[in-house]
Structure 1
Amino acid sequence: MQKRYRSINESFQIAIELTKRLEGNAMQTQIYRDTLRLIHHSTMSNHAISKQLDVSPHTVKKCRRLSKKLQWNWEAIQSMNDKDLSSNFLKPRDVSQDKVMPDWVELHKLLQAKHQTRIELWEDYKETFKERGYSYSQFNFYYRAFLERIDRSMRLEHFAGETMQVDFAGTTIPYRLKNTSEQYAQIFVAVLPCSTYTFARAVPNQKLASWVEAITKALEFFGGVPQSIVPDNLKSAVTTPGLFPVINKTFQECADHYATVVLPTRPAKPQDKGKGENAVLHINRWVIAPLRRQQFFCIEEINEAIQEKLTTLNLRPFKRLPGNRYERFLEIDKPALKPLPAEPYEYAEWNCKLKVGPDYHIYIHNHAYSVSYRLVGEYVDARISAKHVQFFHLQKQVATHERDDTPGTASTNPDHRPIAHQAYANQDLQGFLDWANTVGTSAMEVVQTQFKGRPEHSLIGRKACSQLKGLAKSYGKQRFEAACARALRIASPTVKSIRSILAHRLDEADTESTAKTNQIPTHENIRGASYYEGGLDDDHATDD
């Protein structure tokens, strides 16, 4: 059954194309005139005329029969124009008065909004009107005629919420900032082809940041997200055009954020986004042209003026359809759009295929950012936003830093260093104090002494404390703490003194002396300090 409908449809399509050729091809009409001239001014046979004019004998026979039937003479033939003459050879079918013509406006809306097929709508139509309904072939014939009356470019059928076609208008709007020369704002245009609801916005240029900002503002204007975005092949959208186009990394990320896809046109094929080209024409005519006669001092002023003109354009009634762009948008496109995400896209640029150097740092805008030392020699991609710099390896995030544009400096995560590098990086006053705190108070005081009068990263102080750590490792923390205490008592808290104390076991002698002093037994003849506080009385006084 479907094959039968397809063959009928194709046969009428051939008939339509033939009619177009007969009406529009002056050469074919001239063949009819030359054939009729020889018929009326010579006695040549049909075969001779066909040979003379290099046409089919059937064509000559058809011309002779038609001329005889309509009783033409050469004067009557000369008085007819090309269209009148050719129309006699292929007359259009008469519209039957017994048939009911469908409501093509409503049917066209259904085809766009609900993704219904023509055969489904025809079956409903035929079931309603039965014998008074047209056949499927006639149904298609008159529907195509309706489309041609609306717009010749509507050979492509657009469905609700399916695409958003975008482009830059070729015409700019001048503006002048304070104390600067005249500048020119680029005009971004977006349209939903089904309703032709149109958006426009002025941006400083056609670079990536302006392009993504305009896309984001367009989606906010429409209040939803279409299934696809159709741009041409400008560099901000397509890095490499062709059969398998490469989409700009930032633009692709923006599309992913809004859960839509990017379908760029074929190179040098503007008809792939015909509605977008038509929208640019309307924006040039009804928005840009009037605004170019005004004086602006910033882009914000231009966008305010564009908004007013845009509202007027979208409310202009259609010439061949009821309603206007805004009404059709609310009725058809708006319900079919996907909702916007909770947060708008945060613009970020991508810098891809960056090789990690031996110091496991990567330079972004002359500032070094660290990644794991395990990625040395590998390639990573950098995502640079207003606040952060993120690094990705094999599509997996491997590092994040706060953005810092200070040139010649570095942002380093200590965890990205190898263990040996981490130990060396901790060689400053605070790092040595953290270590000394695990040993004792005397060790902390000795460490502070090494940096006294010097900066926290003093090479002399770091070298001395490194040697102290080596002594603690060799002799143990307990002996090292005792050695530090002795060095402080003798006012010589140097590495040389502490090494000597440990080497001659003087720290152990102090420990034994303290232990023996603490072990003196209690005796009645041993008097404490309190005994002598009041002085000697008369009974205990001695003679000289």
Structure 2
Amino acid sequence: MLTSASLRNLTHTLSLLIDKAVKDGYERTMLTSAILFGFISQRIVARNVGCSHQTVGRITQKLLAMALPLPNFDEIEGKTLLLVFYPHYKKRINYKRRPPIIEMEKEALVSPKKYRLKLMTMYLLYRAKEPATALSYSRYCALWAQHCKNSKLEFRITYQPGEVLFCDYAGIVASYTDRRSGKAVKLYMFVAVLGHSKYMFAYLTKNLTAKAWVEGLVKAIHFFKGSPAVIHFDNAAMVNISGLIAELHEQAQVFSRYYNNVCDTSRPLTPKDNPNAEKQVQHIQNRVLLLLRREKFYSRDEANAYLIKKVEALNHEPMQKTKVSRHQNYVEKELPALNGIPEIPYQPYDERFKQKSSAGYTVTYNTHEYSVPYKHRNTYLTLQVSGDTLVVLHELQVLVTHQLSNEKGGRTILPTHMPPNHFAESNKNETEFIKWAESIGESVVAIVKQQYEGMKSHSSRPAGKKCIALKKLAKTFGKEELELGCAYALNQEMHTPSDIQLILKSRIYEDEEEPLLAPLIASQQNIRGKSYYEGFHHE
């Protein structure tokens, strides 16, 4: 038999059909079922109302047989309406005990879930009290399911453009084939979705570590061309200690500071706190990931290119309810509301530790020394290694970034990190002195090179002192005079600064009668010479 609600809907539908027939010229007293259902079939009416087509035919016959005018069925109470069409209606009395709904609701709230009584156990306890009045197990479960359906209550949160980004990992694993070994390498699908526009992004990572989470988030933020105010994820590798305000992994903290956003977490064991990510993960799994698993890839980049292309195609599809694509919502509403991001993407670190800088304003990594600004000497600094880069931080501020060197025991010192006196001392080398000499002339360059002949180091201190003496001569006598004096000294095989000083004081290079083509010593006939003593000819 019909319920009062279904009967009310049916009488309303039949009244509309009668009115339509009368408007088409039929006499009210001459109406039949064939005329009424010439516009629409009984089965369609039955399907819309929720009853059988036979019931529709019976109620129609009773309605047409009623005296005119018909009562207003919308104003009649449910029980009275049933009595109009079913005069002998009598509610059947059921002596079976109803399920203990209140106790069952309390049991459903027990946490964790594994400590709850199962439905079968609760039914056996219910039946044991009085078996004669107990419902069957199927009816017991049906009434409980109906109660849960009727009492279901949802609170849907709406998110403003640029407010939050949800992210999660899929449970299904993808893979690619390594060309060298031929083995399958597992890949894990990271999914990010913007809360307002539901714009999606997916990326395959090597594992599920905190570094992989951050790698996926960085790719997502730069794909979206902006950063939301909040990043929401569940209690996975990004969380050290869960709770109302979770203690985040250091990777998450550094990432959050770099992009100036807030990281929020779900409550433990509550996937419903992250419904946007859970739903989009399922959507991408069904539409893309299952097909991706059947393709053949030979690198992670190939697999990611395929995945991003397919997910972007999903973003351009109209959504079922709104008939507007995710991409359109993103471009029109979400993108203008996102915060700006740095041009250089954040790189998750491989290592992060603290170290006290030395008095020589250096820190050491893998036996190689790297300089820091001298003002931060003898200070505890944070070293962050990312790939082939070493980043040195002090109180969250980046001091310097070095490219890692493979030289064991070597030193990488930047001139800008030196104090002024150290910088001046470091410039006392062959290269710098030659640069200075080139600004004067070729003869001065040759004299500078003579000072470093035979020296094992380009920063030789004795040679540097002699070059400093040459600089003083340039200040005293002038650059042009120094060039002439050095040219004369080279011709006479005189290389020391003291010899050049004598030449400049005497100005002997100005004497036109003095031969300059041969050394002075060679013109003396009474000198035995070097060869005589090397041959032991002396008495």
Task: Compute the TM-score of the two structures, normalised by the length of structure 1.
Answer: 0.54
Aligned pairs for 1:88-167 within 5 A: 148=152, 154-155=154-155, 157-161=157-161, 162-167=163-168
Change in CA separation of 1:453 and 1:292 when aligned onto 2, cut-off 3 Å: same
- 3-state SS of 2:355 partner: strand
- 3-state SS of 2:273 partner: helix
Give 5+ residue unaligned stretches, structure 2: 1-100, 109-116, 514-539
Residues 504-537 of structure 1, C-alpha deviations (whole Å, 9 max, x = no match): x7865x259989x9xxxxxxxxxxxxxxxxxxxx
Superposed displacement of residue 445, structure 1? 4.7
Provide the residue aligned with 1:172 in structure 2. Answer: 173
- 3-state SS of 2:172 partner: coil
Provide the residue aligned with 1:201 in structure 2. Answer: 203
Aligned-pair identity (%): 24
Matched, 1:369 2:370: yes
Superposed displacement of residue 327, structure 1? 4.6
Change in CA separation of 1:490 and 1:85 when aligned onto 2, cut-off 3 Å: closer
Provide the residue aligned with 1:21 in structure 2. Answer: 105
Matched, 1:407 2:411: no
Superposed displacement of residue 163, structure 1? 2.6
- 3-state SS of 1:214 partner: helix
Provide the residue aligned with 1:348 in structure 2. Answer: 347
Aligned pairs for 1:211-290 within 5 A: 211-219=213-221, 225-235=227-237, 237-238=238-239, 245=246, 247=248, 251-252=252-253, 254-255=255-256, 258-266=259-267, 270-290=271-291
User: For the Cα contact (< 8 Å) 1:433–1:448, is it kept in 2?
Assistant: yes
1: CA distance, partners of 2:507 / 2:459: 34
1: CA distance, partners of 2:239 / 2:355: 21
Provide the residue aligned with 1:448 in structure 2. Answer: 449
1: CA distance, partners of 2:144 / 2:450: 111
2: CA distance, partners of 1:472 / 1:301: 62
Superposed displacement of residue 346, structure 1? 1.5
- 3-state SS of 2:423 partner: helix
Change in CA separation of 1:368 and 1:146 when aligned onto 2, cut-off 3 Å: farther
User: For the Cα contact (< 8 Å) 2:284–2:311, is it kept in 1?
Assistant: no
Amino acid in the other structure paired with 2:206: P
Superposed displacement of residue 414, structure 1? 1.8
Superposed displacement of residue 418, structure 1? 3.5
Amino acid in the other structure paired with 1:211: W
1: CA distance, partners of 2:496 / 2:438: 18
Q: Quote the RMSD (CA, aligned, Å).
A: 5.4
User: For the Cα contact (< 8 Å) 1:160–1:332, is it kept in 2?
Assistant: no
Residues 376-404 of structure 1, C-alpha deviations (whole Å, 9 max, x = no match): 22123456678975533234443355x35
Aligned pairs for 1:369-448 within 5 A: 369-382=370-383, 390-401=391-402, 403=403, 405-408=405-408, 409-433=410-434, 445-448=446-449
User: For the Cα contact (< 8 Å) 2:215–2:348, is it kept in 1?
Assistant: no
Amino acid in the other structure paired with 2:188: Q
1: CA distance, partners of 2:150 / 2:233: 29
Amino acid in the other structure paired with 1:21: E
Change in CA separation of 1:346 and 1:218 when aligned onto 2, cut-off 3 Å: closer
- 3-state SS of 1:302 partner: helix
How many residues were matched structurally?
393
User: For the Cα contact (< 8 Å) 1:29–1:85, is it kept in 2?
Assistant: no
Change in CA separation of 1:266 and 1:446 when aligned onto 2, cut-off 3 Å: same
Residues 236-256 of structure 1, C-alpha deviations (whole Å, 9 max, x = no match): x34666666454566555545
Residues 84-113 of structure 1, C-alpha deviations (whole Å, 9 max, x = no match): 9899xxx99xxxxxxxxxxxxxxxxxxxxx
Provide the residue aligned with 1:183 in structure 2. Answer: 185
Decide which moves more: 385-394 or 427-436. Answer: 385-394
Task: Compute the TM-score of the two structures, normalised by the length of structure 2.
Answer: 0.55
2: CA distance, partners of 1:238 / 1:23: 30
User: For the Cα contact (< 8 Å) 1:200–1:310, is it kept in 2?
Assistant: no
2: CA distance, partners of 1:513 / 1:183: 80
Provide the residue aligned with 2:50 in structure 1. Answer: none
Change in CA separation of 1:426 and 1:288 when aligned onto 2, cut-off 3 Å: same
